[in-house]
Amino acid sequence: MSLAPVEADFAIALSAIRNSAPLIHNMTNIVVANVTANALLAIGASPAMVENTEEAAELAAVAGAVVVNLGTLSPEWAAAMRLATQRAQAAKRPWLLDPVAVGALGYRTRLANDLLQYRPAIIRGNASEISALAGDATGGKGVDSTLSSNAAIEAAQALARRSGAVVVISGAIDYVTDGTRLIGISNGHPIMTRVTGMGCTASAIGGAYLAVSEDPFLAAVLAMVTMGVVGEAASAKAAAPGSFQTAFIDALYQIEAGDLARGMRLS
């Protein structure tokens, strides 16, 4: 059986997002809060961001999916993330972990490892972050990877088997694995590395697909193809990062299932 999604997979998921506007509890960082909210609205979802201990679990319990992005932590936010993911697990709400800068900083590395007990459906990071979370000591420079994505495939597979999550390595080629299955996605454009929050946006979009999919592996593949094809469409209209950011949101709003199926390049 092929792992490649077909146009109907995109059509069913996109229609579900656009028709039901799933509530995505998007616990993300202060740098990308606006752009990830706009990306979720552009694809048709309903974003909400609550990162305090009084409310985070309450919102998680009714969300279509929860996204936990460790970009700009505080002790209060970390505690809220524990509560939200614990509740998400209890309420059977799927959640996605974006381990920003894990491996580069100790506090968040311990937090990310601890959150694994609440069973994320998807973990998405760059090669340095995935390697570090898998237990390899690789570092990374701040939020940027010092590894290319294929260098982390074995680590991703091991992490997927250990955590039960689908693991996504973002890079020039994105890899998606559940420990057994593995697929590479070659879409995207280099300018995406010059705009802040493209990885965080991939995680947010992953949350939107997760809210409407039974299969986290399929949700992850659809999300990464969407990011890549939309990025290519935007790069055809904008050659510099300011206008690219605008064009990206426009293209995400306008994308159709056929565009995604035709534009998809697997490897």
Instruction: Please give the torsion angle defined by the CA atoms of residues 200, 201, 207 and 213, in that order, rounded to the nearest 10 degrees.
Output: -130
Q: Which of residues 122-151 bind a copy of itself (CB under 8 A)?
A: 141-144
Burial class (CB in 10 A: 0-12, 13-18, 19+), 267: exposed
**Is residue 49 at the binding interface for a copy of itself, with CB under 8 A as the rule?**
yes
**Residue 225 Cβ vs a copy of itself, minimum distance, rounded to whole Å:** 20
Q: Which of residues 175-204 bind a copy of itself (CB under 8 A)?
A: 193-197
**Residue 176 Cβ vs a copy of itself, minimum distance, rounded to whole Å:** 26
Count the neighbouring beta carbons within 10 Å of the beta carbon of residue 56: 28
Q: Which stretch binds a copy of itself (CB under 8 A): 49-57, 154-162, 164-172, 257-265?
A: 49-57
**Is residue 41 at the binding interface for a copy of itself, with CB under 8 A as the rule?**
yes
Among 13, 14, 16, 59, interactor with a copy of itself by CB under 8 A: 59
User: For residues 51 and 178, which CB has a smaller minimum distance to a copy of itself in the complex?
Assistant: 51
**Is residue 51 at the binding interface for a copy of itself, with CB under 8 A as the rule?**
yes
2 touches 253 (CB < 8 A)? no
Among 16, 32, 112, 183, interactor with a copy of itself by CB under 8 A: 32
**Is residue 249 at the binding interface for a copy of itself, with CB under 8 A as the rule?**
yes
Residues near a copy of itself (CB under 8 A): 21, 23, 25, 29-35, 37-38, 41-42, 46-55, 58-59, 63, 71-76, 101, 104-108, 141-144, 193-197, 240-243, 245-251, 253-254
